[in-house]
Structures are given as C-alpha cells and as structure tokens.
A and B are shown apart, each in its own frame.
Chain A
Amino acid sequence: MCLWFPEWALQRQNTSRPADRSQSLVVYAPGGGGKMRVIACSSGARERGVLPGMLLAEAQSLWPASARGVVRFELHDPFADRQALRDLAVWCQQFSPLVGLDTADTPDCLLLDATGVGDEEEFAENAVDALERRGCRVMSALADTIGAAWGVARYGMLKRPATGGSRVWIVPFGKQVEVLRPLPVEALRLAEGIVSTLHELNVFRVDQLLALPRSGLVSRFGVELLSCIDRAFGALPEMLKPERIVEPLEATWDFEYPIADGRLLAEVIEHLLDWLLAKMVLDYEGVQRLVCTLRPVHHEPISFLVELLRPTALKRNLMELVRLKLERLKLPAEVEALTVRVAVVAPLEFHQDEMFGGGEMDGGENAARELVERLSNRLGEKSVLRPCRQPEAQPEFAYSYEPWMNAPSFPSSAAPRLTDLFRPTLLKNRPVPILVSTVLDGSPRQMHWREQHPLVKQSWGPERIETGWWRGDDIRRDYYVVEIENGERFWVFRNLVDQSWFLHGVFG
C-alpha cells in the first residue's frame, strides 16, 4: 500500500505545531544568489498571492507588518522532513511489519507491505483513519506492486471509480495494468527527463506509451523506462526497504522499591554508564552531553544535563560531574526509576603523549578545562564567563563576556590591534556624570565629584571617539586621562554633543 502525503514539507510543519494550523504557512529555502525563495505554501498563503518560486521578501511584503500572527514563514529543512517521515514510518509499523520510504530524494510517500493482512479494505481504512487522527492529509492506494500503488495514490484520484465511500483505492488483484492505463505517464515513477521527452512526443498517458514498440523505447530511453513499466505491472519484482527503529543510547533502571539515597542513585547511574560506554567504545565515540531522568513516585520526572567541553569516554570524569549535579538536586519523593541517555555523541579526540615532559602545559590546560566543566555544570553555563575583546571604538562595547562552555578553545593570545591605547583597568558600567572645569584649550583643570574637588595635576588627551550612530545615538566624546594631586588617575570624557562631562574609568 502507498500512503502519499501531499506537500509533506507543509504537513510536517503543521503536524509538529498543531496549535498553529490556522496560520498560513510559507516554507522557503535558499535559492540562487543567496536569496530565499518560497518552495511551498499553504492554501491560505496561495490565496494571498504567494507562489512557489517567489522571493521570500516579496512574499513577506504581501502581509502587513501587523499581521505576523496569521502567517508563519519557515525555513525548509529536508533533513527534518525525511526524519519526520521516518518517525512516521516507525509509527506505522503498528499496521504492517514492513514500512518503507519511497526512494525519491525528498520522499513524501510511505510504502506498507500489505501481504497477509486479511481484509485489505479494513487494513487500509484503519491506517488512513489513524493517520488522519494524527492530523495527516493522506492519499492512498493498495495494489499488487509498489509501482502501481504509488502511481494510483498520486495520480489515480481523478480517474477513480465510485466505490462506496472507501478512502483507499484498492486495486483488485492483477488489475494494475488496467487501472494504470488511463493515468498520466508520470504515474510510472519516471525520471523527469523521460517524462518531458514523452510529452514532446505527445505521449501523455500510460496507454499511449504502451502502444509504442518496446524495442524502440529501449533504443530511445534506455532500459530504465521499461523497468519502471515492468515493476509497476509486476513483471519485475521490487523490494521494499523497511525503516528500522534505531536504538537510542539509553538505559533505564527500575528500582524494586523507591529509594531516595543519593549515593545509591549515583551508583546506579554509574552502572548504567558502564553499560552505555561499553557500547560506545567500539565506535571510538565519547559522551558530550548526558541526560539523566529521575522518576519520583507520583511526580513529574526530573531531568538534569551534564555537558562537557570535549567528548569523553572516561566514567570517572562523567561521574564527577553527575555527582556535582546530584548534590544540588532536590527530590520531591522517592525515585522509582531512572534513565540515562547519551544525548550528544561525538568522536573521541586522541592526544599523543609527548615522550619527554612537555605535557605539563597541556596538563595545565586540561586542568583548567576540567575546572571550567565542573564550575559550569555546578553553577550553570551562564555563570562561568570569560571576557573577550571586541574591535569596537566605543569603550562600552570594546569587550564582552561570553559563556566559557560555548567556546571550545581557549582564548587566543593574539595581540589586539590598538596596542598603544590608554585604557583603564576598571571601566564603570555606565559613565558617571561629573562636573569639570577646564582650561582654555578644553582640557580638564578640576573635577567635581561626590563633594570632592580634586585639582588636575596632569592630563593626557583628548582621544576623540565618534562612532556608533548605527546602534542608536551618535557617540561623540573626547576622552582624557587625568591625574589628580594624590596620584590617582581617572578616565573622563566630555560629551561633544552637549559638552557635559563623565567619569568612565579608574586606572588601578
């Protein structure tokens, strides 16, 4: 049996987000020249004027900016489409043990083996019913051969005889030739080039094709055309390639009686890890992310995540991090089961030990990495940060902090370009307004700040910074380094827009 999901790319989006079904949907993909083009759209979008092939921005301009809730634009994800279809194939194994995808590059059909299902009509109706309940739009046909079922499902609906309300066209045994004859030649699963040449020959229907001499077809289209015909008619066998369920790297432990003892939990996790790592070690793979799920009695399951900078296959490292997490976990009740799942697997990197010493620096780096891993897992990823220089003229933007776990490598020590810049060791979060009296050339003479009025002993500058107009207000400042009588140095600037003064940093 063939189950065809028309416009699968759209259907997949809709089934994955059933709440948004009322929205118009436009799926786009990168076309030539780095431009996004629409590749599929829902009927609502079509009514609005969207056509496949249109530029995305052109399609977007068809809705007013305020109407964002009624339409959704999604990037086409062929991988996810295929994956979703595979998942559906696995789900369909409840109807037939053998379920496969069609062989196209972007498959949108499922093929089910209906051998020995008993009442074919009931079988088909059940499958279609179940799929429609899942929210799928499906056209289906059941026939002796894969080719015939495929062709009838897609192209047969217009030619379909009135058969008492059944949603599936069941082609009677041995009747596939008869049913296929009036259908378009595309129903034979032909390559695009062959179809267009046949069209040029004014051959549009299967029966017209069959009227041509077979020998003439071979010399013109190669054997592929004949095999397609023969497979559809059953003269050549065709195998169904079933989808297999991929076993997740996951292990579960059911406790005989619920427990709450952390040490015991850790021991069980360690045990499960042993088992999982043993499976992975053959492929030289390590764990980069681990998810542990605990099921407290009468409560929602609790999960925690262990994440590493580099994949590891060492149980010791993993367990150390697991323990750190466990310590902070509050259990609402005793746990009756726990699952350990390896969420991200990555190939292990091997570092050859150097023969003579030298490994010490590396050891230092490893130690630092372990520390970062531990701290990040303990305190949360966003709590372990490191500063980065940004090539920006405006001091507030000249550095930033980023989570250490995001960056796999350590910061490079490459020298920043502006080596000779005077920059304070401590920058105020926000420039502090101050008053400054100046001498004739505009440089500061006395500061007035927090009831103090230090005289400026020496000043350097100005360093003029004018930038950032694209971010918001145009920044225009003259910075001075000032040294007051007691030797303290400050970084102050005059806002050139309104001549006001600010303190922006302190030199240590």
Chain B
Amino acid sequence: MPEQPPSKHVRLSDEADLPGPLPTPRIPYAELHCRTNFSFLEGASHPDELVNRAAKLGYAALAVTDRNSLAGVVRAHGAAKEAGLKLVIGTAITPLDSPPMLLWVMNRAGYGRLSRLLTQGCRSALKGDGRLTFDDVARHSDNLLVGVLINRDTEASRSGTREAISRLSACREVFGDRCYAVTELSRTGRDLRWLAHCRHLASQAHVPLIAANDVHYHIPQRRALHDVLTAIRHGCTVADLGDRLFPNGERHLKSPAEMLDLFADTPEIVSRTVEIADRCTFSLDELRYDYPVELSPPGRTPLEHLTDLTWSGARDRYPPGVPDKVRHLIEHELALIAELRYEAYFLTVWDLVRFARGRDILCQGRGSAANSAVCYCLGITSVNPEQVDVLFERFISKDRGEAPDIDVDFEHERREEVLQYIYEKYGRDRAGMTAEVITYRERSAIRDVGKALGLSVDRVDVLAKTMDHHPARDEDRLTSRLSEGGLDPHSRLTRQLVWLVGQLLGFPRHLSQHVGGMVMTNGPLCELVPIENAAMPGRTVIQWDKDDLDTLGILKVDCLSLGMLTAIRKCIDLIHEAGDGRHAKLTLATVPSEDPAVYEMASRADTIGVFQIESRAQMSMLPRLKPKEFYDLVIEVAIVRPGPIQGKMVHPYLRRRQGKEPVEYPSEAIRSVLQKTLGVPIFQEQAMRLAVVAAGFTPGEADQLRRAMGAFRRRGIIEAFREKLINGMLERGYAREFAERVYQQICGFGEYGFPESHAASFALLVYVSAWLKCHHPAAFCAALLNSQPMGFYAPAQLVADAKKHGVEVRAIDVNSSDWDCTLEPPAIGVSPVLRLGFRLVRGLARKYVDQIVTARAEGSFHAFSEFVRRTGLRAAALKKLSSADVFGSLFMDRQTTLWRALPERGPLTLFDEVDRDEPPVSLPALTPLHEVLADYSTAGLTLRQHPVSFLRSLLDSFKITPAVELGSMLNDRKIRVAGIVLLRQRPSTANGITFVTLEDETGMVNLIVRRAVWERYRKIARRAIALIAHGRLQRESDIIHVLVNRLEDLSDRLSELTTKSRDFH
C-alpha cells in the first residue's frame, strides 16, 4: 500500500490552551456547514486545521462547504485521511432566485454533478463568483443532498414566513427525501425564538431540520483574524465594518456536547447530522484517473508503444550502438514504468515534445522523472545518461504514491503554440490549466492587515517595502521590520499587526493560473474538478493546484517558458544562416560536448549572457570552483542558491574541492547520500535524505520539515523538529556538533534548494549557451538582444561584452538594419559582424520598421526626402528614428534629421517642394558626451565612447582607479572607483549587505556595501545613477570586491544619462 502523501501544511496550532482530547460525545455530531479559507476572505482557518480540530473534538464527520468552490477539498481530504476523520465533500451556493443552500456529495456520480454545476456557475460569472438559478441546481440534483439555510429575514413578517415555506417545499419536491433544512444558533439574541421559527418552517414544509454552526474558523481565537478578513473583503477598516461583522466569535467548531447544549430541547436535530454524513459515502480517492486513450495507435497498448519509441530513439541517439550502461538503464526504467503504470504519462510528454520539434520550437524536459535514459531516448531531455549518473528510482520511488513529474521548458515566445496544440488535440472540455493558489506573503499580509487596522495607504506602503525581498521569517524579526518602518514595537497596534500577519501568512488569497501546468483527462474534465474563468479573457482554470493533483495522483504536464531557449534557438538559426549551409543545424544534443575552451572561459567568469552562471554571485564562484566537466556545472548551478549559502555549504565544498580539507563521512549511510558532492549536501534531495538516513525521519516527515523551514517560522514548531532531528542523530551515534550542522543545512534548504534533476537540465543549457558564446560570440550576442528582456544584463553590457570579444558591432541604420539584430559578412576576415536592429530603439513600433524594410527591398535609400517618400512614414515615426540616429548611411546627424522630420506633412506630392523650399539650417553640433547620452536615451547603448570616459581626466584628478587596474593592486589597499551603477542587489542571504556593480569604460567593479554604510549614504546609494566609491580592495582567488566605506554621487556630471540600471534591492 502506498504511503500516504505528506500533509502540505504544517503549522503551529493555536490550540495549546484548549482542552486536550475530549471524551466521546454523548450524541455524535457532524458539522455540515463549514468554510475553509478557500472561501477566500471568508473562512479563517486552513482546511487541515479544521479537519484536525474536528477529529480532536470527536466529530462523526466534517463537511467542507466552501462558497462555489471545491478548491479546498483536496487539502481537507489529505488531512482527514491522516486524522482518520470522515470527510463529506460539499459546497455552499446562493442561487439567484432562492435561499442559500448547502450541497453534499453522496457518491461519485453526485460528485460529477456537483463539479459540473459549479463549473456552469463559475463559467457564467465573473472570476471568483458563481451565478446559478434554482433550475440549474434542480437539473444537477441527482445523487446530491441539499441543506437549505433559513434566512433570518423570513422571521420578520408573515409573508416572509410563507415565502420561506414555499421555497423549502419547492426544494423538497426536487430533492425528495434528500432535502433538509438547516438551523444555526449563534447566540445573537433570541436564539430560542429563532429555533422555534425554524422548526415551524421545517414542519410546515415537511422537511427534516438539522443543526449546523456556520463554521468560519476552527477555534474561537481566530475571531480577530476573521474580522480582519471581513474588512479586507469589504475594502475598509475593521472599525468601519459595523454590522457587517459577526457580533461574536461563535462560528468556530464547537464540541458535540456544546452543540447539544445549544439545542438542548431538540437533540434529534443534532443527531440527524450523522444521518446525512452516513448517506455520503463518496471519497476523493475514487477519482481514479483515466489517461487519454489516443496516446497509442490502435491495436497497441501504451506500454508497447512507449517501448518501441524508446528503443528506436535509443538507436538514433547512439548510431554506433546503444552502450551497455544505457541499455541496462532503459530496461530497468521501462520495467519500473510498467510497474507503476506511468507509460501514458511519458507518452503524453513525448507527444508534446514531438509536436514542438516538428514546429522547430526548442524545448527541454526537467523534473524528477525527466532525468532518465528513457527521456533522453524519447528526446524529452538532452542530458546524456552516459555523462550524468541518473538514478531513476531516486525520483520515481515505488513507495511514494506521487505522480511522476516532468516539466518541459519551451521557448518563451512560442509556448502558446504548444498550449493551443493541447487544447486542439484533447478539446477544451478535456484539457485545462492548473490553478496556482496565490497565498499571503509577508508583503501582501502586511499591506492588507495594515489597511484593515486603519493605517494610511502610504504608511502601509512603507511597511510593505521594508518586507521587500527580506522575508521576515519569524515574529521577532517581523516586529523589528515594522519598527524600521516607523511603528512603535511595543504599541498595541504593532503587537496586533504581528499576531495577525503571522496567522494570515500562507492563507490562500485567490486562484491564479499556474504558469504552465496542464491537465488532460479521458472523460469530461468538468466532472473531475470545477473549472472557472481565469483573469485573462478566454482562459479557464481548474480549481485545483498542482499539489492537489499530486495528492490525488492526477496527471499533469508543466509546459513552462524559458527565455534562454528562445535565445539558443535564435542563435542556432543565425549560425546556420550565416554558415555555408553544409553543416546540419545544431541541436541541444549535438553541440560538441566537454569542450575544454568552454570550461576555461567559464573558469575565468567570462560568462556575461550565459544561462544562470552570469549572475554576480555565480560569477564570483566560477574562478573558485573552476568547472572542468559537465557535472561541475550541475554543482555550480545548484550551489549558488540561497539554500546552500544559508546552510553554509559553499565554503566547505570549495575547501574540499581545492584539497584544503579532507573529505570524510561520519558513517557509511551518509557516504551513500553525499559521496558525489564531497560530503557536503548541495542538492535539495540530499538534505532531505540526510534527515532520513541520519535521524530516522520518514520521507514524509522530511518533506514536512522542509516545508516548515520555508514558511513563516513560528517558535515552537521549528523547535519540535529541531529536537526530533538532533535527538534522532544523537541516538544513532552522531556527534552533537555534526547534528547541529546538519540541522543548519536543512534549514538553508527550506525553500531555496535546487533538486539535482533540475540542476542537471539547467546545466546543459549553461553548457550550450557557454559553448555558443565561446565559439559564436556575434551570433550569441545578436540572439540575446533579439530575445530581450531576459537575463541579468542590459543590451549595453551585452554589446560591450561582445566588442570585448572582438565582435565588430555596427550601428542601427535605415539601409542595413532589420527589426532584429542580424549578422553581416565582415569586410575582412571571417568573423561575422553584428548589425544592431531597430528593436533596440525605445518606443519604436514594429509596423514602422516593416514599412522601412518593405520599401528598402526596392533598393537602398540615398536621401532623407527619398526615404520619407518611399516609406510614407509620418512625423512621429520620423522623429523617433531621427532621435535614434539611424541615418548614418545618409551622412546625416540626429539634429538635422530631426529638424527635417518635424513638419507634419500633408499629401505626399507636396512634400518634395516643402523640402526643396527650405533654407538649409545649421543646428548647433552635439558634443561627443551629448551624442553618447542621446544614444543611451534612445537605444539604451552606444557604440561610441563609454560615458564615464568623458569624466576620466576629472576622475584622475580625484585619484580614482579605473576598473581594469584593480587586478594589479594589492589586497586591502585603500582605493577609489567610479562608474555607472549597473545593478543593486540585496540578497536575503547577505545580512543586509547590498551588492552594487559599477561600470566604467574599462570594465566592471563589484562593490560590497554594508548596511551601516548604505544607511549613511542612503540617498546616494539608492538613487544615484553613477557613483564614486571609497573603500578597500578585497581579493580572494581572482575575485575582486571593493568594501565600501563612503559613497559620492556622480550623477550630476552625467545627469542626463538615462540608461536604466537594473535594481534588484
């Protein structure tokens, strides 16, 4: 029997002060009206909190009845299975023409009905809303139970009462004996009179009455949070809510005894709830998934088909013959796939990849199951199993009941084609987009709670900003962040804010569309899960996210988009076009492997533009790690992540790699986990495995631990895990110090670790892009420019880097440039020349460029007036072109063409005369610096001098060192540097340190700005576009930083420079 999936949420319960397990109730009770926080901004408890509390109170069953939604049921289902509580699936709807009602599912058929009904309601309404009539409900009533909620207003008048009775009777006529009336007492005064009224209505309509409690949260302590949620929903403050608030906190899960006390005179309406729960026998486990049948040709089973495809693919991959190692792997994997019945899944992914290949769309698979020889042979991945040690079982384990996971990355500009293919092949009623549950994070929680407590909009803004990129992680840090934002840490307001934010974190806020998860079914999708409208018009999304699908074992494929694939494909196309056509087009798999020149280049950190390893952190790691082979790239990709950095794994690994520290293992069990990475956990699964082999965690517990680390850390839950881990390790004979270190490492991996399989797929793209940069720098630069925006660097840096590598770059010109950057044959030599394209000109519409290119097909332009006549462009477009200085081949500078472009011309015939009549003008010439600044402001880059070079004599007089000279200077020397700010980055792992990169005409300088210095020069540090930095040189194996102690603004000197630095702080 497969192990139960781990619970997705681990939270410190607020129940510490509540009575422990309660005695078996006198009368069993099932709560049948209960909202989770998937009734967004209405429910104030997570599904698992409600389930666990209900189990603890000894409920006979719990129904989850979210408003128009089944979004929370899977999480409740998982928790209920663990807690051994019976779960009833249901929903609460309010038809337009009848009182609100609860619907409960009796069996699989009823579930399909309900799902279909909700789909209809959600599809015909705005996002997140439902729109149904009583007739709609009646049409879908089979196999469902209904509980009609009696409206308080009906009590006020005789006619209201009559109306309520007739509504109730109408419902009974549709549902027959499956119809109930629901009464709820919330101690809001005159409860007994209200109960009598309900009993009167029910008996008049001949409908049995049951009790419920309209549960909105699991324990009374959530009342304040619920008030806040209500305020957020109404967009006002809690104080302004008035009677939109519940007057008390009675809508929590009450013990059966308490319910019986409330309905003391009528115990039968309490006990009747169990009768309903008993009639509902459905469990979500019944939603066994049927794979689409059309995956294999008629007459062949999917497994046979997959086996054929794999072996024929293997023959293509290894023309000289399949190596033994690979052959064994394939046989082994196919057997495992057959055993777990995953063949349809692999076929589905294969089908998508085949389609993409047919359209010449570059793609690559990654994810747990992707790291297999089968995937390599099917063409899903390009990581040769000969090169990388693939261990399929590690990812697809027989014990874990999880669905296999393959993500496929497609070129970002063309992924839509693949999605359309899926919809076409399976039809819109059988394919759907997975939801993504958007949850409250520090920033959004502060924002919403702050507003609900009456803080002003701009105060809330400032508070939210202090959360930017620095998750607070625990309550103490949250408090200190808030006091940074100007709140008194001891005030009641701050304490309330911290408390409420802590509870709200992780609450679902709304459903969004997952970036690419697609679900395909054999039967109609809407009978599996309700489908609703997505925010994007014409898009639909199912109500479950990928974790839900995982829990139920439902197939999904992630079709993601990746900018680098676009760039690689464009680069390969450019090389192919520029070549003589003799060579076959390159593919990811045919790029020559293990080229020493590529590793040599990477070791120099000469990696601007290369996938992943172009970031500053990666670049400073490369010279230390000095990758020599493919697996080193896998490690490089995985090691520069917040996880390993926080877990302090980087330095031990480097020391061991450089032979400065012996590689040793405390035990054989640990050797088996960490051997590939020199005894240091670098991949996420290694950290989790450590908890298993060293501390005796179950895989499920290890996963819970990881998730607990990732979420907002409540004191208590972390302590409990820590104790368990450390005690477990001590019991197994490990040293305490080692145990503490492992704990630290696991902490680091909480949210930011990288699994090995992902790292391997990414590493291939790293290698391929590095190879292209190394051997085809012009094409590589052009492809990157044509795929913007992507990566870390702006076009200016990419072009500067290409020039540094000997690429000749030519300016944008009306006689030569296309929309995209192109390659031109060189005047001398063989290396192609990069011609910049019009796409770099800011704000220039593509249609104008098309007009130019079309007109140019008849021959080049010789004069401005001729250009205007042939292209038919109007003043606005001409102005843009003039400012961008693209008339170089006509020997006209930007002011002159702008002057000529300005008059708005009438009919074309008049135009020549206008131009001829004009006296020639002599406009003041631009200074070289102004030309450079104008280049920056129109295209974001210049082929002239670097702007800082104009200041060089001034900078020399300030004794400022150019970037290129830093390499020859002594460590710890006092130094001054200056340049344009390229980026500011404050990683959450860096303890408040901000990394700033400056660029002068000779190269880049990396600055380290400590928090105190940053605060002292805050104004300059945050806003200046060019800086002078004073500090000390720091050098560690070829990596040079300047530790800053003083900053000066250089912006005024370059005030008009509008190049945008990329801010990440």
Residues of chain A whose beta carbon lies under 8 Å from any beta carbon of chain B: 34-36, 49, 51, 55-58, 60-61, 65, 197, 200-204, 208, 211-213, 215-216, 219-221, 390-393, 417-422, 441, 460-467, 469-472, 474, 478-479
Q: Which residues of A contact B187 (CB under 8 A)?
A: 462-464, 478
When the two chains form the complex, which single residue of B248, B459, B903, B1018 contacts A57, counting CB atoms closer than 8 Å? B459
- Bound state CA distance, A53 and B923, in angstroms? 34
Give the docked Cα–Cα distance between A57 and B456 (Å): 9
- Distance in Å from the Cβ of A48 to the closest Cβ of chain B? 9
Complex-state Cα separation, A81 to B1039, whole angstroms? 57
Q: Which of B1008-1054 contact A (CB under 8 A)?
A: 1018-1019, 1023
Please determine whether B248 and A202 come into contact, CB atoms closer than 8 angstroms.
no
Q: Is the CB of A420 within 8 A of B1019?
A: no
Residues of B within 8 A of A58 (CB): 458, 462, 465
Interface centre among B187, B193, B239, B488 (most CB of A within 10 A): B187
Count of CB-CB pairs between chains A and B under 8 Å: 127
- Min CB gap B260→A, angstroms: 13
Q: Which residues of B lie under 8 Å from residue A464 when comparing CB positions? A: 187-188, 247-248, 250
With A55-B458, A57-B458, A65-B486 given, is the CB distance from A208 to B924 under 8 Å? Answer: yes
How far apart sit A216 and B1023, CA to CA, in the bound complex (Å)? 40
Q: Is the CB of A61 within 8 A of B462?
A: yes
Chain A hits for B891, CB < 8 A = none
Looking across the interface, which residue of chain B has its beta carbon closest to that of A61? B486
Is the CB–CB distance between A55 and B247 below 8 Å?
Answer: no
Residue in B closest to A218 when the chains form the complex, CB atoms: B903
Tell me if B247 and A57 are in contact (CB < 8 A).
Answer: no
List residues of chain A with CB within 8 A of the CB of B223.
466, 469
8 inter-chain pairs at a CB distance below 8 angstroms, sorted by A residue, are A57-B456, A220-B902, A221-B902, A391-B243, A417-B243, A464-B247, A467-B248, A469-B496
Instruction: Give the most central of A57, A60, A478: most B CB within 10 Å.
Output: A57
The 6 A-B residue pairs whose C-beta atoms are closest, nearest first, are A391-B242, A57-B458, A393-B247, A463-B189, A391-B243, A220-B902
Q: A57-B456, A466-B223 are in contact. Are A213 and B919 (CB under 8 A)?
A: yes
**Are B457 and A466 closer than 8 Å at their CB atoms?**
no
> What's the least CB distance linking A469 to chain B, in Å?
5
- Find chain A residues with CB under 8 A from B457 CB: 34-36
Residue positions of B touching A, CB distance < 8 A: 155-156, 187-190, 193, 223-224, 227, 238-239, 242-245, 247-250, 261, 453-454, 456-459, 461-462, 465, 485-486, 488, 492, 496, 883, 894-895, 898-899, 902-903, 914, 918-919, 921-926, 930, 1018-1019, 1023
Across the interface, which residues of B come within 8 angstroms of A203, CB to CB? 923-924
Q: How far is the CA of A478 from the CA of B189 in the complex (A)?
A: 10
Do B903 and A61 have beta carbons less than 8 Å apart? Answer: no
Asked if residues B190 and A201 are in contact (CB atoms below 8 Å), the reply is no
Q: How far is the CB of B250 from chain A (nearest CB, A)?
A: 6
A197-B902, A220-B902, A393-B248 known; 7 new pairs, CB 8 Å cut-off, are A55-B458, A57-B456, A65-B488, A201-B923, A391-B244, A422-B189, A479-B189
A10-B902 Cα distance, complex, nearest whole Å: 39
B246 CB to closest chain A CB (Å) equals 8
A422 CA / B187 CA spacing, docked (Å): 13
B914-A201 in contact (CB<8A): no
Q: Which residues of the partner chain B approach A201 to less than 8 Å between Cβ atoms? A: 895, 898-899, 923
Q: Which residues of A contact B923 (CB under 8 A)?
A: 201-203, 208, 212
Task: Point out the residues of chain A lying under 8 angstroms from B895, CB to CB.
Answer: 200-202
Is the pair B486, A60 in contact by a Cβ cutoff of 8 Å?
yes
B458 touches A36 (CB 8 A): yes
Complex contact A420–B458 (CB within 8 A): no
B254 smallest CB distance to A (angstroms): 12
Query: A61-B485, A211-B922 are contacts. A465–B247 as well, Cβ < 8 Å?
Result: yes
**Which residue of chain A has the shortest Cβ distance to B937 in the bound complex?**
A200
Closest to A394 in B: B247
Q: Are A460 and B190 in contact (CB under 8 A)?
A: yes
How far apart are the CA atoms of A34 and B459 in the complex, in Å?
A: 12
Q: Does A469 lie within 8 Å of B921, measured CB to CB?
A: no
- Nearest chain B CB to A223 CB, angstrom units: 14
Across the interface, B903 reaches (CB within 8 A) one of A51, A219, A467, namely A219
Contact B239 A471 (CB under 8 A): yes
What's the minimum C-beta distance from A294 to chain B, rounded to whole angstroms? 44
CA of A204 to CA of B924, assembled, Å? 9
Q: A469 contacts which of B224, B454, B919 (Cβ < 8 Å)?
A: B224
Residues of chain A contacted by B242 (CB below 8 angstroms):
390-392
Interface core residue of B189, B227, B899 (most chain A CB under 10 Å): B189
A56 to B1019 CA separation, bound complex (whole angstroms): 15
Asked if A467 and B922 sit within 8 Å, CB to CB, the answer is no
Nearest to A473 among chain B residues (CB) is B492
Given A202-B930, A419-B156, check contact A470 B925 (CB 8 Å).
Answer: no
CB atoms of B921 and A35 under 8 A apart: no
| Residue numbers in A under 8 Å from B1019 (CB-CB) | 49, 51
A49 to chain B, nearest CB (A): 4
- Chain A: CB-nearest residue to B224: A469
Task: Considering the complex, give the chain B residue whose CB is closest to the CB of A204.
Answer: B924
A220 touching B899, Cβ below 8 Å: yes
Write out the residue numbers on chain A whose beta carbons fall within 8 Å of the beta carbon of B249: 466
Given A35-B457, A203-B923, decide whether A219 and B247 contact each other with a Cβ distance below 8 A: no
User: Which residues of chain A come closer than 8 Å to B492, judged between CB atoms?
Assistant: 472
CA of A23 to CA of B105 in the docked complex: distance in angstroms?
69
Tell me which of A55, A421, A460 contacts B461 (CB under 8 A): A55
Asked if residues A216 and B918 are in contact (CB atoms below 8 Å), the reply is: yes
Asked if A216 contacts B930 (CB within 8 A), the reply is no
Question: How far is B245's CA from A474's CA once the two chains are assembled, in angstroms?
Answer: 15
Chain A hits for B461, CB < 8 A: 35, 55, 57
C-alpha gap A392/B242 in the complex (Å): 5
A418: B residues at CB distance < 8 A: 243
Q: How far is the CA of A186 from the CA of B984 in the complex (A)?
A: 36
CA distance A34 to B485 in the complex (A): 19
Q: Which of A56, A213, A221, A420 contacts B189 (CB 8 A)?
A: A420
Output the least CB separation between B935 and chain A (Å).
13
Which residue from chain A places its CB closest to the CB of B186 in the assembled complex? A464
Judge whether A55 and B239 touch: CB under 8 Å.
no
* Closest chain A residue to B925, Cβ basis: A202
A465 CA / B187 CA spacing, docked (Å): 8
Q: In the complex, A466→B227 CA distance in Å?
A: 11
User: In the complex the two chains form, what is the Cα distance from A65 to B883 in whole Å?
Assistant: 48
Chain B, residue nearest A415 (CB): B156
Please give the distance in Å from B200's CB to the nearest CB on chain A. Answer: 16
Chain B residues near A197 (CB-CB < 8 A): 902
Q: What residue in chain A is nearest B466 (Cβ atoms)?
A: A61
Which of B243, B488, B921 is in CB contact (< 8 Å) with A216?
B921
Q: How far is the CA of A58 from the CA of B459 in the complex (A)?
A: 8
- Closest chain-B Cβ to A194's Cβ sits at a distance in Å of 11
- A19 to nearest B CB, angstroms? 27
| Shortest Cβ gap from A96 to chain B (Å) | 40
Nearest-CB distance from B122 to chain A (Å)?
Answer: 30
* A181: min CB distance to chain B, Å: 14
B30 CB → nearest A CB, Å: 24
Residue of A nearest to B188 (CB): A463
Closest partner residue, chain A, to B486 (CB atom)? A61
Residues of chain A with a CB closer than 8 A to B244's CB: 391
Residues of A within 8 A of B459 (CB): 57
CB-CB < 8 A to B190: which residues of A?
Answer: 420, 422, 460, 463
Contact with B914, one of A219, A221, A461 (Cβ below 8 angstroms): A219
CA distance A479 to B187 in the complex (A): 10
Select A393's contact among B155, B243, B883, B898, beta carbons within 8 Å.
B243
What residues on A are CB-neighbors of B245 within 8 Å?
393, 467
Bound form: Cα–Cα A219–B903 in Å:
5
Across the interface, B247 reaches (CB within 8 A) one of A390, A466, A474, namely: A466
- For residue B896, which residue of chain A has the nearest CB? A201
Q: Which residues of B contact A51 (CB under 8 A)?
A: 1019, 1023
Contact residues in B for A204 (Cβ distance below 8 Å)? 924
A35 touches B496 (CB 8 A): no
- List, in ascending order, chain A residues with CB within 8 A of B155's CB: 420
- With A201-B898, A391-B242 already in contact, the answer to whether A470 and B458 are too (CB < 8 A) is no
